[in-house]
């Protein structure tokens, strides 16, 4: 077998002495583990190192592989243009992976606008590898908004291409862990941050790639992780293989998690068909979600599914609870796919006869008329998860101090009332009132310095 192993590594720029100016000594355990892992890679004498990076080109629906003969980059964005790196690409390997991807309809390859400038998620692993003596070729791969199965499938193809071309291959999964480990850190604190890092440490230490692949999207999003999709690709290369896993370090003194681990294949193991196991678990999870939907969520789902499949808006069905028929209120319908937003449309105030009609119309609009997304297709319907937020009547407030990002949504209106932006409460990644107001301003096309009127509202969330 040509696949020699893989490793997980972080990419903090301050780990370089020229940038850290001594601060890097606070992550001395990470540096020691990084040097050991780079030596471990070089000792395997690979012909090729594939580096997957969250900071290479990212598309929502495509996994881009860098094309061309070589990549070059510097740390000019971090104030050090003199720190430059260069690596040759294995063009034949890229061609083979792209061909294999086409054969199985995997959206991966060299399409899209190419950026030949190496990113820091690639250069920092390259720094340690080259310092350890690696002089071979690399392949650089970006991540995507696609689900875990797509990333895992690309990892499978990397191993198969290495076997076909007889390349001695090591995969380097570049990615930081949570960015929300400390209140005084650059991204603040969320309780999901340490939980996410603990989960990753357990996966790395034991080689539990099923647990890795089925990490809850809500946990990952609220932890503001960086490398999970990179780790998914790496895991795919071990499909149906035994693995010797070794966690070398996991720390986060600056509020961002850095983990380093090594993985060596130990031979065929049909019980580790992780992708199939994850697909079965996902199917069971989706069935449970459907069983637990309340009347609000079932109505939103029925509305969009009927519209997409039959091209018509449903009538209000029989048997709905009285509050859906006798209440008028604004409502937002949010749709998610693989944990990522797929559409969200709503009304601040009621514009229809009752709440049921409001939900029916807004569910169709969320799936077909949100300008940020293409219309939902019939093939996607089984993968969609719905939220319905029922809004209270907005009330004017005098100061942002009267807001609570968890309890209240906000409406920011221009003084003439012609422009306004709304943001719902308790959203992932929105942790302060200042962030909430700033986002609402942008949504309403209102400048940061323009005088505004503020309104707040509460929601009853069905999820």
Q: Reduce the DSSP state of residue 360 to 3 states and report it.
A: helix
H or E element, residue 113: none
Q: Tens digits of per-residue pLDDT, 247-275?
A: 999 999 999 999 999 999 999 999 999 99
pLDDT at residue 320 in the model = 96
**Does position 119 have pLDDT exceeding 90, yes or no?**
yes
- SS3 percent helix, strand, coil of the chain, rounded to 5, is 40, 25, 35
pLDDT score, position 430: 87
Amino acid 215: pLDDT: 96
Residue 170 backbone phi and psi in degrees, to 5: -125, 135
* Predicted TM-score (pTM) above 0.85: yes
Residues 277, 210 contacting (CB under 8 angstroms):
yes
Model pLDDT, residue 429: 78
* Phi, psi values for residue 110, rounded to 5°: -105, 15
pLDDT attached to residue 457:
95
Q: Is 419 exposed, middle or buried (0-12, 13-18, 19+ CB in 10 A)?
A: middle
Taking the C-alpha atoms of residue 202 and residue 199, their distance in angstroms, rounded to an integer, is 5
pLDDT band at 116 (very low <50, low <70, confident <90, very high): confident
Longest dimension (CA), the chain: 73
Q: List the one residue out of 85, 70, 88, 142 whose CA is nearest residue 110.
A: 142
Residue 302, helix vs strand vs coil:
helix
Q: Is residue 339 pLDDT above 90, yes or no?
A: no
Give the Cα separation of 114 and 70 in Å (integer).
12
- The rounded distance, in Å, linking the Cα atoms of 18 and 1 is 40
- The mean pLDDT of 286-306, rounded to a whole number, is 97
Q: Would you give the DSSP letter of residue 47?
A: S
Q: Which letter, b or e, does each residue of 34-65 get, where b requires 16 or more Cβ atoms within 10 Å of its Cβ?
A: bebbbbbbbeeebbbbbbbbbbbbbbeebbbb
Report the alpha-carbon distance of residue 300 to residue 386 in Å, rounded.
7
Question: Is residue 311 within 8 Å of residue 277, measured between CB atoms?
Answer: no
Confidence (pLDDT) at 366: 98
| Res. 9: pLDDT tops 90 | yes
**Contact by Cβ (8 Å): 55, 119:** yes
Share of the chain above pLDDT 90, in %: 95
Q: What is the pLDDT confidence band of residue 338, given thresholds at 50, 70 and 90?
A: confident
- Is the pLDDT confidence value at 414 over 90? yes
At residue 1, the pLDDT reads: 82
Helix residue ranges per DSSP H, 261-402: 274-292, 295-310, 322-326, 355-368
> How large is the average pLDDT for residues 79-86?
93
pLDDT at site 345: 96
pLDDT of 70 = 96
431 confidence band (pLDDT: 50, 70, 90): confident
CA 227/CA 176 separation, integer angstroms: 5
E strands, 127-227, are 137-142, 169-174
Q: If we measure between CA atoms, which residue out of 161, 165, 55, 43 comes closest to residue 106?
A: 161
| 196 and 21 Cβ atoms separated by less than 8 Å | no
pLDDT tens for each residue of 56-75: 999 989 999 999 999 999 99
Q: Are 115 and 52 in contact (CB under 8 A)?
A: no
Q: How far, in Å, CA of 353 to CA of 36, rounded?
A: 67
Average pLDDT over residues 202-226: 95
| Rounded Cα distance, 190 and 182, in Å | 8
């Amino acid at each position: 077998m040509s696949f020699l192993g893989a490793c997980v590594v972080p990419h903090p720029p301050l780990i370089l002495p020229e940038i850290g100016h001594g601060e890097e000594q606070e992550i001395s355990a990470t540096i020691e583990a990084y040097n050991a892992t780079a030596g471990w890679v070089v000792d395997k004498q690979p012909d090729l190192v594939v580096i997957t990076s969250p900071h290479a080109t990212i598309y929502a629906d495509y996994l881009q592989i860098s094309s061309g003969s070589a990549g070059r980059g510097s740390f000019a964005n971090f104030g050090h243009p003199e720190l430059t790196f260069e690596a040759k690409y294995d063009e034949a390997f890229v061609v083979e992976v792209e061909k294999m991807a086409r054969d199985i309809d995997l959206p991966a390859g060299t399409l899209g606008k190419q950026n030949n400038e190496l990113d820091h998620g690639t250069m920092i692993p390259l720094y340690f590898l080259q310092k350890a003596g690696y002089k071979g070729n690399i392949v650089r791969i970006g991540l995507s908004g696609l689900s875990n199965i797509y990333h895992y499938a690309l990892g499978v193809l990397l191993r198969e291409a290495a076997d076909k071309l007889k390349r001695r291959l090591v995969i380097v999964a570049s990615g930081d862990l949570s960015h929300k480990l400390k209140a005084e850190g650059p991204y603040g604190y969320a309780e999901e941050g340490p939980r996410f890092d603990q989960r990753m440490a357990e996966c790395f230490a034991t080689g539990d790639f099923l647990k890795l692949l089925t990490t809850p999207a809500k946990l990952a999003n609220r932890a503001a992780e960086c490398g999970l999709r990179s780790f998914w690709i790496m895991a795919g290369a071990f499909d149906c293989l035994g693995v010797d896993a070794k966690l070398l370090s996991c720390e986060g003194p600056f509020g961002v998690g850095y983990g380093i681990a090594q993985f060596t294949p130990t031979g065929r193991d049909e019980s580790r068909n992780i992708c199939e196991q994850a697909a079965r678990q996902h199917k069971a999870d989706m069935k449970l979600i459907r069983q637990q939907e309340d009347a609000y969520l079932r109505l939103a789902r029925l509305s969009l599914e009927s519209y997409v499949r039959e091209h018509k808006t449903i009538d209000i069905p029989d048997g709905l609870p009285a509050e859906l028929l006798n209440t008028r209120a604004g409502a937002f319908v949010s749709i998610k796919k693989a944990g990522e937003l797929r559409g969200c449309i709503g009304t601040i105030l009621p514009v229809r006869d009752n709440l049921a009609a409001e939900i029916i119309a807004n569910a169709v609009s969320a799936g077909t008329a949100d300008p940020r997304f293409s219309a939902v297709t019939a093939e996607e319907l089984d993968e969609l998860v719905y939220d319905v937020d029922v809004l209270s009547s907005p009330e004017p407030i005098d100061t942002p101090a009267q807001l609570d990002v968890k309890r209240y949504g906000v409406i920011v209106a221009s003084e003439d009332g012609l422009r306004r932006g709304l943001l719902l409460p308790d959203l992932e990644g929105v942790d302060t009132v200042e962030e909430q107001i700033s986002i609402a301003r942008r949504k309403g096309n209102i400048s940061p310095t323009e005088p505004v009127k503020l309104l707040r509202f509460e929601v009853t969330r069905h999820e």
